[in-house]
Structures are given as C-alpha cells and as structure tokens.
A and B are shown apart, each in its own frame.
Chain A
C-alpha cells in the first residue's frame, strides 16, 4: 500500500485520512496520481520485471 510522504506534526493526520486525501486529490485532478501510484506495478506486470518501489527523497527543505 503506497503511503504519502508526510512530516510528523502535532496533529495526527490519520493514515486512512491521508489515503483518502490522495484519492480525492487524484479523482478531482484526473487519474494522474493514481496512475503514478500504480505505474511502477503496471510496468512491472507487463515487462515481467520485479517491481522496485521508489525511494524517498531525503531533502526535507526543498520547495516548489
């Protein structure tokens, strides 16, 4: 199950709530995010290669 990257804050965002947030953001903005979530697995399925999950960036302070 993919998990959204988040920084621990004083308010517990709730795992379920994070997942719904991801889903809602994806639904409303097209299916891009869902595709992104599962693209690795889809590609792995068709190419017959082992799926390697992406690594988490360590750069905490980068901003858009």
Chain B
C-alpha cells in the first residue's frame, strides 16, 4: 500500500511525515543524513529523549516510495492528541517556549542548533511539553546565528507578551496568523512601558519590528562579516528565557474561573456526580474521551484517573490554565487541558485548509462527557437539541450527558434576562431530540438536585 503524505509536512526539505496502513512514519532525506547522524552520535537524541523533551522514534525497514531521496525511515512515538498553540492556556505556551530555548541550549552544547522555532513542533504529553520534530536539528557551525530567532519571537514571545500586558484573548490571534503574530502588530498593541530601556521586549519586539521594516525592501549585501560566537548565542537564549519567565498571567476575572467555588454545588453533590460519571466510564471502559465544557477538569479526572486519555476542553482560559497548572504540579497523566469554544471550535487552517485540522477532525473518540453543558449551548447559544445530538454523534460512540432543567438555579439565571423561547427544553424534549441518534442505556437522577445524567450509546 502506498504512502499518504501528512498535509502539514511540506516546509522543511529534510524529510516529511507520511502514513501507511494507518501508521505514522517520517522519511529522513539524504540531504539531512549528516545532521541526523550527528543528532544520534552526539548523544543529543538520547539526552533529550531521556528527559522527555523530544519524542522518541525507532528506525524501521519500511521501503519508502521515493527511495532515491530517502536516507532512513523512522517511526516516531505518537502523542495521543495533536493540539495547537491557539488552544493552549498561557502557561502551556510559556512552557513550550521555555522548552524550545532549553532544547536549543542543549543542542548547542552538542554541536547542533535548532533550525526553526515553530510552536507547532511542540505537543503535550502527560502535562509536559515535548518536541515532536526530530528533523529540526542542524549542525552548528562556528559563527552561525539562530535562523529560528524571528519565528521564536512571532510564535512565542509576541503572544505571551500580549497576554501578559494586554489581554488573554490575544491567544486566539494565533488562529489568524499561522506563522505567529507579526512583530510590528505586537509592537503597536503592547503598552508604551514595554518600549523603555534595554528590556527584553523593547529589543526582541519593538526594536526588532522597526529594524525588520527598515530591511524589508532591501537586499543586504554580504560584503562584511561578523561572527556570532557560541557564547553570545547562549547569552541570547538566556536573555530570551529570562524575558519569557518574567511574563505572567493570573487566571482570574473570567466567566468560569471560579465556577465550582462560586456556585451552589455542595461537596456532596459534586462527589455523587463524580461517582455516577465514574460508574458510567467503568461500564463502557473507553480508551479515549473528550470532556466538553470541562472547566478545571474536575470530572475529566474521573476518566483520566481510570487510564482513559481525556481532552479536557473549555471555553474559559482561566479554568484551563488552572487545570494545566494543577496537572503539572501533581504530575497527572492521561489528560490534556485545552481552550476550545464549542460554539466556534478551532477551524482547519493553513494551506488549502489542510495544515492544521479542525477540532472535530481530530476525533472521533470513544466517549464524550457533556456535564452541565447543554443548557449553555441550547439556551445561551439557541442551539436546537437535535443539532447538539448530531454533533455528539459525529465525534463519539458514547456520550455521558447531564440534563439540567429550567427549574435549576443555573438555568433560571440564564433565562432571567431573556425571553423563554425554549418550550422543548425539558427532560422529555431532551430524550426526544437524542433518541434518533442515541439510545438511552442508563439514566440517573443526581440526588439533591433536579438534574439527570444519561449514558447514551450511538445507534
């Protein structure tokens, strides 16, 4: 069977990703032979893999389609879910930035250098960032600058600075700019105080943007040469790391950041809800799940602690940030917190709309969890219940859905400022809307409330 090239793998001529019989391989081209051999022989590969900074791979005997170009075929380990920078919380992007710099530093000490600095080369595995592009390493030659410097500023520094100094919603701008935030735009948006002195941002963003504009139309003659020493390059990396480390964002002041502590959920009803969800998960024993509207991942953990890989997505960046920080500090596994607005999920972007997949394209999974979610979709966003059922059926075989009736205080709050046009928003209406695509396997009342939790199987 012939190979299918991965759509996003076309920029770097060192090799490319392809799938054959559903297995992902990476071809290493002859032109990259020397760099690839150095990555292995210098011990850099072993060191990075050992500390969990680089995805490991094995060399395989698979015959490539274009064998004249191929040097080797490798089979990389897989991350369970490919996520993109515009879906990360602030600290996820920050950790990815720091990892990129750290890897580059280690590479320099082994006679290599990163040739790019794409945020898309970083993924998350068990709460930690990991580099997935084995072909990003080049042989370091004395005097070389870092070709990825501009990309680093666009993919990491600019969005982190904008979030830290202006607004968390700038993370979403990365959807529009697939190669990172243009530095002249970041420079215009950042407050004046970031321009002063010789601070990291004044140099790496503001001055950088100005000099870029100066040089934009010029072909610079290479008549003279100054070499950048390795020490200077390491200084640059340290400087960037210090600048990044200083950027901070406090997860508060958003809609859902304090949801569980601000609502009238009692500890007892939260515990009961966890038990029901846990029992449903054990009954189905899925291997993958999406918890949609996961908030800080309280119920995602019912799945992840049972070894189910769970994407815990939520619209609220503060909730996702808290989830990621908790996961990181507790060294939790099997979960990936992401910022996703379900009413407008990540689209497919890039060349031919095929470089980065939409959120839905990265499914299906075995189970979706939609706890205290559908009243927000149905009432706040006017979505018909049938449309919600159709979406769930397109992404999962099983669904655990909590139905919250109009008599519930949370739904009353949603309806308090608008006309109630939702006659069908009842338990019966819900079952009617879902029965075409799902069968009700089990339903349980959440005692102490008027809420019901359903276990649904796709027909």
Residues of chain A within 8 A of B225, CB atoms compared:
2-5, 53-56
Closest CB-CB distance, A16 to chain B, in whole Å? 4
A18 located at the interface, meaning its Cβ lies under 8 Å from any Cβ of chain B in the complex: yes
Closest CB-CB distance, B152 to chain A, in whole Å? 10
Closest CB-CB distance, A26 to chain B, in whole Å? 7
Contact B228 A10 (CB under 8 A): no
Closest CB-CB distance, A43 to chain B, in whole Å? 15
The 8 A CB mask of A2-43 against B (1 = contact, 0 = none) is: 111111011101111111111111111100110011000000
Contact B198 A16 (CB under 8 A): no
**Known: A4-B227, A33-B232. Contact between A17 and B140, CB under 8 A?**
no
Pick from A1, A18, A22, A36 the residue with the most CB of B within 10 Å: A18
Closest CB-CB distance, B30 to chain A, in whole Å? 15
Please tell me the size bucket of the interface on A: 35 or more
**Known: A9-B115, A11-B147, A17-B212. Contact between A27 and B203, CB under 8 A?**
yes
- Chain B residue at smallest Cβ distance from A63: B111
Contact B230 A64 (CB under 8 A): yes
**Known: A21-B145, A53-B224. Contact between A14 and B230, CB under 8 A?**
no
Contact A3 B211 (CB under 8 A): no
**Known: A21-B146, A25-B235. Contact between A2 and B228, CB under 8 A?**
no
**Known: A7-B141, A27-B198. Contact between A13 and B149, CB under 8 A?**
yes
Contact A17 B208 (CB under 8 A): yes
- Chain B residue at smallest Cβ distance from A53: B224
Chain B residues within CB distance 8 Å of chain A: 11-14, 111, 115-116, 138-151, 153, 198, 203-204, 207-208, 211-216, 218, 220-233, 235-236, 238-240
Cβ contacts A to B, 29 pairs, < 8 Å: A1-B220, A3-B226, A4-B226, A5-B226, A6-B144, A9-B138, A11-B147, A11-B148, A13-B149, A14-B150, A14-B212, A15-B218, A17-B149, A17-B153, A21-B236, A22-B228, A23-B203, A24-B236, A25-B232, A28-B238, A29-B236, A33-B232, A36-B226, A53-B224, A53-B225, A61-B139, A64-B111, A64-B142, A64-B230
